[in-house]
Amino acid sequence: MRVFSGIQPSGNLHLGNYLGAIVNFVKLQNNAECIYCVVDLHSITVWQDPSKLQKNIYEITAGFIASGLDPEKSIIFNQSKVKEHAELSWLLNCVARVGWLNRMTQFKEKAGKNKENMSVGLYTYPILMAADILAYKATHVPVGEDQKQHIELSRDIAQKFNIDFKDRIQQLYNKDEFFILPEPLISGPVPRVMSLRDGHKKMSSSEISDMTRINILDEADLIANKIKKAKTDSDSIPDNYELVNDRPELKNLLSIYAGVLGESPKKIIEDFSGKQFSHLKTSLTELLVERICPIGNEMKKIMSDKSYINNILNNGASKAREISEPVLVETKKIIGLS
């Protein structure tokens, strides 16, 4: 089992990243070889202020460490330090089909009506993601639900490569398949955390209003204010979790509560049943301040020690290159480039 996953340094590491992905990253590091990447090349598919990008790379790295990732157990690095990602991405650009990319819902959502004006990188972004995963022949990819379609695309690309070059793979390496088809692991405590202001939209770092999300670096007062102002409806809380399905904002607050606590939402609804939203909001604020603020405080401490972070990223990059470089060399041989 080899695990690969990544997070974009686009600022505002948030509760969705934590509950959808990072909690699972930490769990997996004790049972598998794990590679976690700060995907800085992905982040520049939309505008990033150059004077903030390094700080954002440090933020994600510090978030990894403060959440419990151990650089002795997991390989931690940033994508732009390992050139194999970009080079393999080009090779896979020539395997993936335009029709496949046209089906990617995330591009459609992000581009909206402004498709013509988006960077080409935003469009081909899932191919870079496939390169990230395939360069390590990762078997499992822990992600939130929003990334499922991208992992499926990575599988399609791996499979097409294996079929297109079947004879070469057989002849050179005496194998039927070269790339491994990666499995998505969508098993974080909350696979889809929703916006605090709209239970139909996912919580996202790119949403303009900061009130839609809890950032891991938020202070207690700000968390209290965001939860207080989170959208709700006027009914009280039912005793059966099935009844929250058509109440997305309630469902979201309950799943966040359960996810942070490490319990199932079905179990915790009993504690709040018959009560008003304000009761749930007060308890949720207390829980977030108790569990998330210490991670944020630790992140701030780590972020102030740049040489410590640089050390982790440099060591991680050289370990990552030891795995991805031979894969790229072999891929080029299979294609006939060397």
**Residue facing ligand TYM at closest CB distance:** 20
List 67, 147, 162, 215, residue binding ligand TYM (CB under 6 A): 147
Q: Which of the stretches 144-152, 247-255, 286-294, 299-307 binds ligand TYM when contact is defined by CB under 6 A?
A: 144-152
Residue 6, interface with ligand TYM (CB under 6 A)? yes
Contact, 60 vs 9, CB < 8 A? Answer: yes
Residue 212, interface with ligand TYM (CB under 6 A)? no
Alpha carbon 143 to chain centroid, angstroms: 5
Q: Which of 75, 72, 76, 49 is nearest to 63 (CA)?
A: 76
List 7, 69, 75, 91, residue binding ligand TYM (CB under 6 A): 7
Contact, 140 vs 3, CB < 8 A? Answer: yes
Q: Which of 331, 335, 334, 328 is nearest to 170 (CA)?
A: 334
Number of residues that bind ligand TYM (CB under 6 A): 25
Nearer CB in complex with ligand TYM: 129/169:
129
242: part of which helix (H) or strand (E)?
Answer: none
List 8, 12, 89, 215, residue binding ligand TYM (CB under 6 A): 8
Alpha-carbon torsion angle 191, 194, 200, 204, nearest 10: -100
Residue 259, interface with ligand TYM (CB under 6 A)? no
Residue 193, interface with ligand TYM (CB under 6 A)? yes
Q: Which of the stretches 3-11, 70-78, 262-270, 325-333 binds ligand TYM when contact is defined by CB under 6 A?
A: 3-11
Nearer CB in complex with ligand TYM: 66/129:
129
Contact, 198 vs 231, CB < 8 A? Answer: yes
Q: Which of the stretches 114-122, 136-144, 218-226, 252-260 binds ligand TYM when contact is defined by CB under 6 A?
A: 136-144
List 65, 91, 143, 312, residue binding ligand TYM (CB under 6 A): 143
User: Min. distance of Cβ 338 from ligand TYM in angstroms?
Assistant: 26
91: Cβ contacts below 8 Å, ≥ 6 apart:
131, 331, 332, 335
Our CA angle for 132, 302, 76, nearest 5°, is 20
User: Min. distance of Cβ 287 from ligand TYM in angstroms?
Assistant: 18
Q: Which of the stretches 109-117, 143-151, 261-269, 289-297 binds ligand TYM when contact is defined by CB under 6 A?
A: 143-151
Helix, strand, or coil here: 255?
A: helix
**Tokens describing residue 95:** 């395997």
CA distance 218 to 310: 24
**In degrees rounded to 5, what are phi and psi of residue 204?**
-145, 145
Q: Which residues bind ligand TYM (CB under 6 A)?
A: 4-8, 16-17, 20-21, 39, 42, 129, 132-133, 141, 143-144, 146-147, 150, 191-193, 202-203
